[in-house]
Amino acid sequence: MRLRVISWMIGVLAIVAGASVVGAQQAELILLDGAAAGGGVAAQDVTPDGQVVVGTSDGRVFRWTEAGGVEFVGTGDWLYTFKAAVSDDGSTIASTFIDTGNNVVSAARWTQAGGWTFLGCLPGVPPTPDNPPQCSTGYDISGDGSTVVGLAWHGDTYRAEAFRWTATEGMVGLGQPTGASSRASAISSDGSVIGGFFEHETWGMRRPVRWVNGGAPDLFIDPYTMGEVSAVSTDGTLLAGEALLLDSGGFPIPPWTVTKAFLWSEVPGFQYVLPIEDFDPFMTEQNAGGNGVSDGGIVVGWSGSMGPWGAVYPAIYCPGSERMRDLSVVLTEAGVTIPPDVLLLSATAITPDGTTVVGQALNGTTFNYVPFVARFFAGPCPMFADGFESGDTAAWSATVP
């Protein structure tokens, strides 16, 4: 494993196994060079204390700690092994692999003692007729590691259904729209709230959905809004993702016509989290998405345009602001010197206290994608401390439509 040093940190040369570190007094950036690869690379989840990071690297699941560096805990296929999530203590991981016992693609759960256990298909539901057949895909895991969520395939219809798996109940379907698909993408640490998408039965587009305490699918914004939930706070009171408000006829509600990031709570409800800017030089309206949310309402994700002329930036939103900001700029302002050949692309998760952000970067010299860990010693939103406590609406009110 090669060690690479980027710069001086507070006057002392810092070296971390399997990673390169840059930093200053207010923040540090750690590049996980040991997990770099040509594609399918990102840090995707982090423990609440910021000490254990997991992700995927060209079909391999990695687990990183500052003491041990990058450790690969499973090798799969980049087509199926593209997502990993970790329990709060870092001991349990959820992902997806081809089960070598029956050659079926299956959601899987890893523990230090037992290795990988395959979760299989929904009971009585056939896998897809592909080669290899597909049963299920794992997306997230609860804080105690006991619950895994994701999607399970109905092979007879080629439709997917959101699932919840526990050791006691096995895999349980959470419902799917008639003639369409659903997915469970995120679960709160306490396991009480699951978020994802529930496609429209007629129009086919994804809609944000949640399941509360094992209940029925709840289209909590309205039945028409396009988008999906990608992140849930520790106790499930905050949801984030991407969305576009539509009317009952399926037309966008002005002023926006493409999806933006969003933040939602029971009070004050739905809030757009706007991109870094609305239009690029080609006058293309900008998209944004929320991939992670802190318990204080800090949202991290991406901002930009997915079109042929666009660029995508890692983005962070501080409660009370109107727009996301470029995470690279925020880090630079915090004293971090980002190497000139490194471009941060997307932020994928944030710790509940908002001090650690993980994501994906690109090394412009090697053309490899590199996972990153960004640590803010006082948080990325010092003007708002940790944002706001659940139920405090004052920090949001200016930006709720």
Rounded Cα distance, 110 and 120, in Å: 14
- Predicted confidence at residue 5, as pLDDT, reads 28
- Per-residue pLDDT tens over the stretch 226-275: 999 999 999 999 999 999 999 999 999 999 999 999 999 999 999 999 99
- Predicted confidence at residue 13, as pLDDT, reads 28
Confidence of residue 23 (pLDDT cuts 50, 70, 90): very low
Q: What is the mean pLDDT of residues 334-347?
A: 96
Confidence of residue 82 (pLDDT cuts 50, 70, 90): very high
Q: What is the DSSP string of 2-17?
A: ------EETTEE--BT
Confidence of residue 155 (pLDDT cuts 50, 70, 90): very high
Compare 300 and 400 and report the one with higher pLDDT: 300
**Residue 354 DSSP class:** S
- Reading the block at residue 226, the tokens are 């396009």
- Reading the block at residue 120, the tokens are 């299989």
User: In b/e form, how buried is each residue of 114-136, taking b as 16+ CB within 10 angstroms?
Assistant: eebebbbbbeebebbeeebbbbb
User: Does 3 score more than 80 pLDDT?
Assistant: no
Confidence of residue 307 (pLDDT cuts 50, 70, 90): low
Fold adopted by 37-399: Neuraminidase (2.120.10)
- Nearest CA to 78 out of 95, 100, 56 is that of 56
User: Does 396 score more than 60 pLDDT?
Assistant: no
DSSP-derived pairing of the beta strands 147-154 and 115-118: unpaired
- Predicted confidence at residue 309, as pLDDT, reads 60
| Domain boundaries, given as residue ranges, for the chain | 37-399
- Nearest CA to 273 out of 300, 248, 246 is that of 300
Say what the pTM is: 0.90
For residues 226 and 243, the answer to whether their CB atoms sit within 8 Å is yes
Compare 16 and 213 and report the one with higher pLDDT: 213
Q: What is the DSSP string of 189-243?
A: TTSSEEEEEE--TTT----EEEEETT---B-SS-SS-EEEEEEE-TTS--EEEEE
- Reading the block at residue 310, the tokens are 């666009």
Contacts (Cβ under 8 Å, ≥6 apart) of 147: 141, 164, 165, 166, 187, 191
